[in-house]
């Protein structure tokens, strides 16, 4: 495809053996905006998704602040509806879906595979611009009246609400294509571009997780695309597909939406699991326990994730048979997740655990995801969910998974690969303080919501009964602690960019391919010489702890 | 693991020496590049099929709910024009395949001919679609708030359609419209391949874009092969 790239080096051609951040690898602003290098594209994704996280976070803080006291606190009910919708839509479509694959996946995956780039570098850059294009639609929607439907866009409200639904929906539609292109690129890269000797049983678990995620992205996202397209057409032309007056069915929207969005929760969490697997292995200094089981459980999640969408619709008027079937199938999805949790725990057992900040995030991930996953079984159980549906219990559940799971792993992953990405070390003690506030803040915010929800506090409500006030106050204070935690972490990273110490190639002493084979930061084509893989990514038993930091002795001999 | 890979030592300074001009820097061999492109297109085709799949599912569900209305409404479609279009598309898939064959054999002019015929077929398809669509507009069969076929002035042989027939046309226009968009995209891809072929960029060693373009064109054909009988013939 990319024929021109291969021509002889002209003056503007990047030097493939220069460090990827150096001017020789791409000059000035053009060297970034037009780069085909997966590492630079990854960094651009990192910056954009973090901006989205910040924006979504501001809306979250506003929502929490409004709920600090009953009645009106800082905004009207109309604005409250917009605030929680924007929070959810931004966090889901602009942040969590692209974050790990786009930022960390782009950066790390080709290096882990021992290759120079992803299979289609231009498509990769295109997917980033498609992301920005979709984000523009979303921003336009925000300034032109915003959206108040909730991020789920349920009909019939979304077809009648007089807010700017169409542009937000088109934004999500376009963002979906960015997600599809990334997934497609990764699938082909993993199949076709592995270094010699890197057979499937040696693939790092991050690659396995990304592979499973990509499969879901490619299979589920188009269904969301068509659903959103129908919704936009419905609003523009009054098609009637979701309108009972014209023979349509609003429940069909819910089916379509969740046919995508349940698998999409695995698009959100599987990358987090993938990052965590790497962190556990590196900082336990031992081969990951149950490698094969963890790898296959990712694929298992990708598969069974498609069979359970109906558990979001127990109260929507499905047939009794359908609800029973979906409830039974839902118990099935717990199995692959359970397999992972047990194997991670077994990896820790008798490992030489190093409590760096990334490891603290990985351990938080393990605990919080377990809570999120187990409460998923509560809401998956038919009779219990009739009571818990659309309450704060559900809000707490999905925040334990998405934030306690994916966001923890994401932050852990950023810190872990930070020295590789920037070539600089960060201040561990500052980052640890940040972690402390994030962990405590998170639990303060969301643990209480389980209780509040089980006592009947409904979700998406502007006002509440006096008996919920204490809970809401605690939860809001928690959100401030979270803010402090993220600010401290951001400060640690900014400080590292400005005055961080230079990082050695392998500061963590990891046996992973991305640490053993490259400089920090890597050269533009990642490896000076195409590597041949002769061992697995977790072969800690093959050398002593000290040797890890300087590379495997057998490699040095060659 | 970062041990020197003796016989790929040369691969590091890609762009020089034995790296042919069409081979991108990050690939080691032309086969690898070809296989990647092909796999990529197949994955994309899967995505497209799932996207259309949503529409097919919606169609089948609503047809199941109101079979009588769907039959009545589908009688307003012109199955003759639909059949002609089916033949046109099937034929164009053949010519697309022949274009791949001729470019594999390095016959540049023949490739140009087959590609041109394929594109002409695509244009013919769109032309016929245009005629069909304008009849539908004329008969007040646009769906949703534009639907007027239930009003007396749009009676057809003395019959008017029930208002609920609008659903059939909503799906008809979404399905054929999205398919039509794919025809336009496929045509543009083939046009770009045509230009590159004209510039002499393909050879028996490198004809990936022809292959990929044709593959996409087969998808466009495939969707129609399911759409036509379901909507035009079965109703
Ligand atoms: C920064 C900390 C966060 C706080 C304080 C927070 C707070 C909230 C609150 C108060 C709601 C509204 C609940 C309701 O009444 O329905 C909410 C909803 C939601 N949040 Fe968060 N959140 C945070 C982070 C996140 C993250 C990281 C994600 C996703 C990755 C996320 C995803 C969602 C989703 C999907 C909803 C549902 C929106 C809707 O109902 O349409 N949140 N959050
Ligand atoms: Cu679900």
All structural domains of chain B, each given as residue ranges with its CATH number in brackets, are 36-234 (1.20.120.80)
The count of CB pairs under 8 A between chains A and B is 192
Cβ contact B222:B72 at 8 Å: no
Q: Which of A134, A266, A291, A265 is nearest to A205 (CA)?
A: A291
Ligand 1 neighbour A81 (Cβ under 6 A): no
The ranges assigned to domains in chain A are: 2-556
CA of A406 to the centre of ligand 1 (A): 13
* Token pair of A40 as six digits: 């630079």
* Token pair of B104 as six digits: 């594999």
Least confident of A103-107, A487-491, A531-535, B180-184: A531-535
Please give the Cα distance from A531 to A233 (Å, whole number).
51
Ligand nearest to the CA of A442: 1
Please give the Cα distance from B195 to B52 (Å, whole number).
30
A226–B21 CB contact, under 8 Å: no
Kindly indicate the confidence band of residue A555, based on its pLDDT and cuts at 50, 70 and 90.
low
- Bridge partners for A523 per DSSP: A19, A526
Q: Which of A307, A293, A271, A376 is nearest to A341 (CA)?
A: A293
Cβ contact A452:A471 at 8 Å: yes
Angle (CA) A327-A329-A330 rounded to 5° is: 65
Stretch (H or E) spanning A206: helix A205-237
Stretch (H or E) spanning A532: strand A531-532
Least confident of A175-179, A203-207, A242-246, B131-135: A242-246
pLDDT tens digit sequence for A339-370:
999 999 999 999 999 999 999 999 999 999 99
CATH number of A2-556: 1.20.210.10
Please give the Cα distance from B6 to A369 (Å, whole number).
45
Cβ contact A239:A279 at 8 Å: no
Mean pLDDT of A179-184: 97
**What pLDDT, on the 0 to 100 scale, is given for residue A478?**
98
Please give the Cα distance from A379 to A289 (Å, whole number).
30
State phi, psi for A351 to the nearest 5 degrees.
-80, 165
B209 burial class (0-12, 13-18, 19+ CB within 10 angstroms)? buried
Stretch (H or E) spanning A185: helix A165-192
pLDDT tens digit sequence for A503-546:
999 999 999 999 988 999 999 999 988 899 988 999 988 877 77
Portion 20-79 of B in contact with A at CB < 8 A: 20-28, 32-33, 35-37, 39-40, 43-44, 46-48, 50-55, 58, 61-62, 65-66, 69
Check whether A558 has a pLDDT greater than 60: no
Please give the Cα distance from B170 to B176 (Å, whole number).
10
* Token pair of B109 as six digits: 């002019």
**What pLDDT, on the 0 to 100 scale, is given for residue A12?**
62
A257 contacts in chain B (CB < 8 Å): none
**What pLDDT, on the 0 to 100 scale, is given for residue B154?**
78
Ligand 1 neighbour A89 (Cβ under 6 A): no
Choose one of A91, A161, A372, A405 to mutate for the ligand 1 pocket test, by most ligand atoms within 8 angstroms of C-beta: A91
Neighbours of A425 (CB within 10 A): 16
What one-character DSSP code corresponds to residue A64? Answer: H
Name the residue at shortest CA distance from atom 4 of ligand 1.
A60
Kindly indicate the confidence band of residue A448, based on its pLDDT and cuts at 50, 70 and 90.
very high
- Is the minimum CB–CB distance between B143 and chain A shorter than 8 Å? yes
- Give the end-to-end CA distance of chain A in Å, rounded to a whole number: 35
Check whether A1 has a pLDDT greater than 50: no
Please give the Cα distance from B139 to B143 (Å, whole number).
11
Ligand 1 neighbour A84 (Cβ under 6 A): yes
Q: Which residue has the higher pLDDT, A240 or A417?
A: A417
Ligand 1 neighbour A445 (Cβ under 6 A): yes
CA of A477 to the centre of ligand 1 (A): 15
**Cα R_g (chain A), whole angstroms:** 23
Cβ contact A75:A146 at 8 Å: no
B1-16 residues labelled b (16+ CB within 10 A) or e (exposed): bbbebeeeeebbebbe
Ligand 1 atom with minimal separation from the A96 CA: 30
Name the residue at shortest CA distance from atom 40 of ligand 1.
A150
* Token pair of B8 as six digits: 């790929």
DSSP per residue over A254-269, as a string? HHHHHHHHHHHHHHHH
**What pLDDT, on the 0 to 100 scale, is given for residue A342?**
97
CA of A308 to the centre of ligand 2 (A): 7
Residue with tokens 């292995």: A281
**What pLDDT, on the 0 to 100 scale, is given for residue A399?**
98
Ligand 1 neighbour A157 (Cβ under 6 A): no
A25 contacts in chain B (CB < 8 Å): none
Name the residue at shortest CA distance from atom 3 of ligand 1.
A60
pLDDT tens digit sequence for A71-85:
999 999 999 999 999
Please give the Cα distance from A417 to A520 (Å, whole number).
10
Q: What is the ipTM of this complex?
A: 0.92
Q: Give the distance from residue B39's alpha carbon to the nearest chain A alpha carbon, in angstroms.
A: 6
Cβ contact A280:A364 at 8 Å: no
Ligand 1 neighbour A170 (Cβ under 6 A): no
**What pLDDT, on the 0 to 100 scale, is given for residue B229?**
95
By Cβ distance, the residue of B39, B52, B54 closest to A192 is: B39
The three-class DSSP label of residue A162 is coil
What's chain A's average pLDDT?
A: 93
Q: Which residues contact B20 (CB under 8 A, 6 or more apart)?
A: A6, B30, B205, B206
A517 contacts in chain B (CB < 8 Å): 1-2
Find, in chain B, the residue whose alpha carbon is nearest to that of A110. B26
Peptide bond into A521 cis (omega under 30): yes
Ligand 1 atom with minimal separation from the A95 CA: 30
Q: Which residue has the higher pLDDT, A417 or A548?
A: A417
Kindly indicate the confidence band of residue A2, based on its pLDDT and cuts at 50, 70 and 90.
very low
The three-class DSSP label of residue B3 is strand
- Give the end-to-end CA distance of chain B in Å, rounded to a whole number: 61
By Cβ distance, the residue of A115, A223, A532 closest to B54 is: A223
Kindly indicate the confidence band of residue A556, based on its pLDDT and cuts at 50, 70 and 90.
low
Q: Give which of B13, B15, B26, B36 to mutate to test A binding, by max A Cβ within 10 Å.
A: B26
Helices and strands in chain A: count of H runs, count of E runs: 21, 1
B54–A533 CB contact, under 8 Å: no
Q: Give which of A173, A532, A539, A556 to mutate to test B binding, by max B Cβ within 10 Å.
A: A532
Ligand 1 neighbour A88 (Cβ under 6 A): yes
Neighbours of B52 (CB within 10 A): 20
* Token pair of A43 as six digits: 């960094």
Question: C-alpha distances in angstroms, A472 versus A113, A182, A259, A475, B103?
Answer: 47, 39, 33, 5, 69
Cβ contact B22:B206 at 8 Å: yes
Portion 79-108 of B in contact with A at CB < 8 A: none
pLDDT along chain B (235 residues), means of 10: 39 53 89 95 97 96 92 91 96 97 95 97 97 91 86 79 89 96 97 96 94 97 96 88
Neighbours of B63 (CB within 10 A): 20
């Amino acid at each position: 495809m990319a024929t021109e790239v291969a021509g002889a080096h002209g003056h503007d051609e990047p030097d493939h053996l220069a460090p990827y951040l150096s001017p020789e690898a791409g000059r000035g602003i053009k060297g970034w905006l037009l780069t085909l290098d997966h590492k630079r594209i990854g960094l651009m994704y990192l910056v954009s998704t973090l901006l989205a996280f910040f924006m979504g976070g501001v809306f979250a803080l506003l929502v929490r602040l409004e709920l600090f006291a009953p009645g009106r606190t800082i905004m009207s009910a109309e604005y409250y509806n917009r605030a929680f919708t924007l929070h959810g839509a931004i966090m889901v479509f602009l942040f969590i879906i692209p974050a790990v694959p786009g930022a960390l996946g782009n950066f790390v995956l080709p290096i882990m595979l021992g290759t120079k780039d992803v299979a289609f570098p231009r498509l990769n850059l295109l997917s980033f611009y498609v992301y920005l294009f979709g984000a523009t639609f979303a921003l336009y929607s925000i300034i032109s009246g915003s959206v108040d439907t909730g991020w789920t866009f349920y009909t019939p409200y979304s077809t009648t609400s007089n807010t700017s639904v169409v542009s937000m929906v088109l934004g999500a539609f376009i963002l979906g294509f960015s997600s599809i292109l990334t997934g497609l690129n990764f699938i082909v890269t993993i199949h076709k571009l592995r270094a010699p000797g890197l057979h499937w049983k040696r693939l790092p678990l991050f690659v396995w997780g990304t592979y499973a995620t990509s499969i879901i992205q490619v299979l589920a996202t188009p269904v969301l695309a068509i659903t959103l397209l129908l919704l936009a057409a419905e609003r523009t032309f009054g098609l009637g597909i979701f309108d009972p007056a014209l023979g349509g069915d609003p429940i069909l929207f819910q089916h379509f939406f969740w046919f995508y969005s349940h698998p999409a929760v695995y698009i959100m969490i599987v990358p987090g699991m993938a990052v965590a697997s790497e962190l556990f292995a590196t900082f336990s200094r031992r081969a990951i326990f149950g490698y094969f089981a963890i790898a296959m459980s990712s694929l298992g999640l990708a598969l069974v994730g498609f069979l359970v969408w109906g558990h979001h619709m127990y109260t929507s008027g499905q047939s009794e048979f359908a609800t029973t079937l979906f409830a039974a199938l839902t118990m099935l999805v717990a199995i692959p997740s359970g397999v992972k949790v047990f194997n991670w725990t077994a990896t820790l057992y008798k490992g030489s655990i190093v409590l760096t900040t990334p490891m603290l995030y990985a351990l938080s991930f393990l605990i919080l995801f377990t809570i999120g996953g187990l409460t998923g079984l509560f809401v998956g159980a038919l009779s219990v969910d009739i009571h818990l549906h659309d309450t704060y219990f559900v809000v707490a559940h999905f925040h334990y998974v998405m934030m306690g799971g994916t966001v923890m792993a994401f932050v852990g992953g950023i810190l872990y690969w930070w020295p590789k990405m920037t070539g600089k070390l960060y201040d561990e003690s500052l980052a640890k303080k940040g972690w402390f506030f994030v962990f405590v803040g998170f639990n303060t915010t969301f643990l209480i919501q389980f209780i509040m929800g089980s006592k009947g506090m409904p979700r998406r409500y502007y006002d509440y009964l006096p008996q919920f006030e204490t809970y809401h106050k605690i939860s809001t204070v928690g959100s401030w602690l979270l803010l402090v935690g993220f600010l401290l972490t951001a400060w640690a990273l900014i400080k590292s960019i400005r005055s961080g110490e230079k990082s050695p190639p392998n500061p963590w002493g990891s046996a992973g391919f991305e640490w053993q084979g490259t400089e920090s930061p890597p050269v533009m084509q990642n490896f000076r010489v195409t590597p041949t893989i002769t061992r697995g990514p977790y072969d800690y038993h093959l050398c002593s702890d000290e040797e890890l930091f300087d590379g495997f002795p057998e490699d040095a001999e060659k | 693991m970062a041990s020197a890979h003796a016989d790929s030592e040369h691969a590091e300074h890609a762009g020089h020496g034995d790296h042919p001009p069409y081979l991108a820097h990050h690939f080691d061999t032309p086969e690898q590049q070809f296989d990647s492109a092909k796999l990529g297109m197949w994955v994309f085709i899967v995505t497209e099929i799932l996207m259309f799949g949503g529409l097919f599912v919606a169609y089948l569900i609503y047809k199941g709910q109101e079979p009588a209305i769907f039959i009545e409404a589908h009688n307003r479609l012109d199955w003759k024009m639909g059949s002609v279009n089916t033949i046109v598309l099937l034929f164009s898939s053949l010519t697309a395949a022949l274009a791949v064959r001729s470019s594999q054999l390095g016959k540049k002019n023949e490739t140009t001919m087959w590609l041109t015929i394929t594109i002409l077929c695509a244009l013919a398809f769109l032309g016929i679609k245009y005629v069909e669509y304008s009849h539908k507009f004329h008969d007040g069969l646009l769906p949703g708030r534009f639907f007027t076929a239930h009003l007396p002035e749009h009676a057809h042989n003395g019959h008017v359609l029930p208002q609920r027939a609008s659903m059939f046309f909503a799906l008809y226009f979404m399905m054929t419209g999205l398919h039509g968009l794919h025809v336009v995209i496929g045509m543009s891809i083939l046009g770009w391949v045509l230009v590159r072929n004209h510039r002499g960029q393909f050879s028996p060693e490198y004809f990936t874009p022809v292959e990929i373009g044709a593959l996409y064109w087969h998808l466009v054909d495939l969707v129609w092969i399911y759409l036509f009988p379901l909507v035009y013939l079965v109703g």
